[in-house]
Each structure stands twice: as C-alpha cells, then as structure tokens.
Amino acid sequence: MVNPDRRRRSSARRPARAQGAAPRPARPAPAEPRLDGPVLELDVERIAHGGVAVARHEGRVVFVADAIPGERVRARVTDTGKAKFWRAETLEVLDASPDRREHPWAEAGVDRAPEHRAGGAEFGHIAMSRQRALKAEVLVDALARFGGVERAVEVEAVDPALAPGADPELGTGWRTRLRLQVDAEGRVGPYAARSHRVVPVASVPLAVPELAPLAPVDERFAGARSVDLVAPSLGNPWVVVDTGEATRGGRTQRIEEQVGDRVFRLDRGGFWQVHRGAAATLSAAVQDLVHDELFDPRAANHDLYGGVGLLAAAIGDRFGDTVRITSVESDARATEHAGTNLADWVGARAVTGRVDRYLDELAAAASPSERERLRAATIVLDPPRSGAGRQVVERLAALAPRQLVYVACDPVALARDVGIFAEHGYRLDAVRAFDLFPNTHHVEAVARLTAIV
C-alpha cells in the first residue's frame, strides 16, 4: 500500500494522491450471474438499449452480451429469473460479423471467461462506425416507441481536435474521469459487467494518456473502497483513494476546466463530462440548436440542472452580455461555482434548488409580466440519466416557454419526455447525437422542442 503521506503530496510530475471524498451511500449489489447456466447456440437479431443484443430461444427473448446483430454465438444463460426473457453471456463466436474486431482492452475481450471480463467497455469488440450506427438504431427506436416521433438520427464522432491524445479509430484515450474499485483484499480494478466482482487489470486504455500511467492497477489498498482518477484540462491530474472517511479538502479541492477560451471552476469531486471533448461538443450543439428567431435575451431564460454553468455560459457566449439566464442546480457547491463562472453576464444568476420545487415556486410567485417573460423564454435542461420525468415536464409545459433545448444521456428517458411534451403541445424540431462514450453503449443527444402555435 502506498504511504498516506505520499498520497497527499503534489508535484509537477506526479499528482497528489489524497485520501478522498465524503462517504457515498452504499449501492445494493446486483445479483451475481449464474456460472452454471445452460449453454445455447443463438442467432443474434438486433441491438437493445443497455448494450446487449437480442436473440430468441424457443420463442423466449434472450439478451446477449458481447454479441453483434447478424452473428451466431454460443452463449451461457446467466439469469433465468424473468419469465419473459433470459440474459446470457457470449462464450464463443461461431459466425462473426464483419464488424467484429479485437477488443482494444485485452481484459474485456470475448476470449476471457465472462466473469473475468472487465466491465465498462461493452462495445469494444465492434468497429467504431458500427458502434455509432447501433447507438443511432437505439435512439431512433426509442423516439418512435416512446416519443411517437419518426426521425432519422446520425451519431456524430467527436472532433479529434477537441480530444488530443485520443485514438478515434480505437476509441481509446478519452476518459478524464475514471473510478477503479477495491475488493476486500485491496486489489484494484473495474467491476465485471453487471457485477460487483472486481476484475484485476494491467491497463486502462479508455483513460486519457496522462492519466492511464497513473492508475495504480498493480498496487493494494487494504481498507479502501475505490480509487478515483481525475485529469482536469488545466493543472495536474489527481489520484484519490476513497477510504470511506471524510478528509479535509477532499471533494472540495478546486480544479479548473477550459472550454474554448473560457475557464470553469468546480470541485474535484463535482460533475463534469468525462470525455475530453464533451464539454466543447455539447456547448456547440446547444448553441446550434437554439433557434435564433425564438430567442429573446431579455426573457426569463433558464438552464435547469445547470451544474457549474457550462450550458448557461454557452448561451451567454452566443447571444452576448445582455442575456438574462438563471442556472438552477441542487448541489450548493456547484451553484457557488456557477455564480463565479457566470460573472461575465450581468443578467446571469445561479440558484440552489431542486428543479421540480423551483418550478413550483416560480409558477406560484410569477406576476403577469414575469409570466410573459417565461412564455418568451428559452429553457435548457440537462437532467440526470433518469431524465426530467413527467412532473418536471408538466411543470415546464404549464409555463409555456417558446423553446426547450434538452441534453440527454439516455435515449429512452429522452424519448419518454419527448412524448410527454407532445401531450402538452410541444413538438420535436431537431435532434443531434454524439459519441461521447466510445466503446460503450452510451450516447448523448441534444434535442430542440418548440411550442405548437
């Protein structure tokens, strides 16, 4: 185990290793997959939300990991708990897709036993262009099934200029944040997929080049829970060992991230997009999707789930220093930073509060003139993976803003909310999607919704 004093020391060449952040609540462990289930030969039909493919056995749906539509595989059933479907892990590829490739992370490859495959790179066996095509299929299907919208969508790669050091063909070298778990014996590694079993690894190829060599994959941390690695765009990277005990200055250590010419302050443990080029990509997408003719800089514009002010700043940078915009975020520390990060705009303010409660209070207290400013508003929202949900969507629709720009990291949650907005007189005008998580099933989308007049 590394000497604790060494963990706290900072230098230009080696980042500080600090015992870390305040304790996080324990998550319930997922049921461990069966290792003795039946082995089936399956013809893989299509991709499903969640990074698994769909096959059928005697009429029953089987969700298969590590397979590609069009392949025939031998797979072991790991979960028969659901009457309508089973889950299975690919053991052998009998008829490979032309898009199958060697996994860029050796410890996640299909040649390993499923229980020993590193999780977190479930699309790594698929060529990059096919990965993006499959993600587009999931988004298009979700919009049709849950949003009632037929829309062709292309998943765009991140501009390589925004992610120096990343390999766009392999999909590696892009993660600026990485969490490694620690098992009861102090060994470090990622969890196996759909498991809380720690898998020892020799490398972390998705991490940015300056972070990957610092991953302590060959060290032991007895008594620790996890190791977080953080590489801000400005300053030295960090390796933070979480012992479950709050340490002075842990989460609240300030770092800086640069997006274009603008610098954002935030806590080291605060939320920031993990792909090196994601913040710039999403800022540009939000700027692009705000409809000029519908935007009023003097209206009651809002950035909901605003974090440290990234997207509010994108609006300000596009429309000038007379913009009025309110960032709403439940994390008080993030709101504090947002206030500093948005100081260039006199009409900008940052409010701490839950979005649903804030909207209730806003509606209750709004005067007739304020309601008029809300109806003229542009609302940007970037909710968590679960989406905004019916309550927030209905509260927003009742305020009747002209346009909403919705940033989503889950296609089903986005589609569901698009469908709810449609119930209240809003249509999906435009949507773009971005591959901000190469070698995983995750995809980010930005959508514009406008009121039907």
* Model pLDDT, residue 194: 82
Task: Reply yes or no on whether 409 is catalytic.
Answer: yes
Query: Is position 329 annotated in a ligand binding site?
Result: yes
- Residues composing the chain: 453
Q: Which residues of 174-194 are buried (b: 16+ CB within 10 A; e: fewer)?
A: bbbbbebbbbeeebbbbbbbb
**Contact indicator for 448, 378 with CB cutoff of 8 Å:** no
Query: Is position 181 annotated in a ligand binding site?
Result: no
Q: Of these residues, 204, 374, 409, 446, which one is catalytic?
A: 409
**Contact indicator for 197, 215 with CB cutoff of 8 Å:** no
CATH class of 134-161+275-451: alpha beta
Q: Which residues of 214-225 are buried (b: 16+ CB within 10 A; e: fewer)?
A: bbbbeeebeebb
User: How many angstroms separate the CA atoms of 77 and 64, rounded?
Assistant: 9
User: How many angstroms separate the CA atoms of 131 and 116, rounded?
Assistant: 23
**Contact indicator for 247, 238 with CB cutoff of 8 Å:** no
**Contact indicator for 304, 190 with CB cutoff of 8 Å:** no
Burial of 351 by CB count in 10 Å (0-12 exposed, 13-18 middle, 19+ buried)? middle
Burial of 307 by CB count in 10 Å (0-12 exposed, 13-18 middle, 19+ buried)? buried
**Contact indicator for 362, 385 with CB cutoff of 8 Å:** no
Residue ranges of the alpha helices (H) in 290-331? 310-319
Nearest to 328 by CA among 346, 355, 310: 355
Query: Is position 382 annotated in a ligand binding site?
Result: yes
Give the pTM: 0.90
User: How many angstroms separate the CA atoms of 186 and 209, rounded?
Assistant: 25
Joined together, the tokens standing for residue 138 give 């999931």
Query: Is position 79 annotated in a ligand binding site?
Result: no
Nearest to 293 by CA among 417, 416, 226, 378: 378
Residue span(s) of the chain under CATH 2.40.50.140 come to: 39-100
3-state secondary structure of 141: helix
Phi, psi dihedrals of residue 355, rounded to the nearest 5°: -60, -45
**Which amino acid appears at position 329 of this protein?**
E
User: How many angstroms separate the CA atoms of 144 and 14, rounded?
Assistant: 50
Residue span(s) of the chain under CATH 3.40.50.150 come to: 134-161+275-451
Q: Which fold has domain 39-100?
A: OB fold (Dihydrolipoamide Acetyltransferase, E2P) (2.40.50)
User: How many angstroms separate the CA atoms of 79 and 450, rounded?
Assistant: 43
* 10-residue stretch averages of pLDDT, the chain, 453 residues long: 31 37 43 75 97 95 97 93 86 98 96 94 98 98 97 97 96 97 96 92 97 95 95 96 66 90 96 97 98 97 98 97 96 97 96 97 92 97 97 97 98 98 97 98 98 86
Measured between alpha carbons, how far is residue 445 from residues 340, 424, 430 in Å? 28, 22, 10
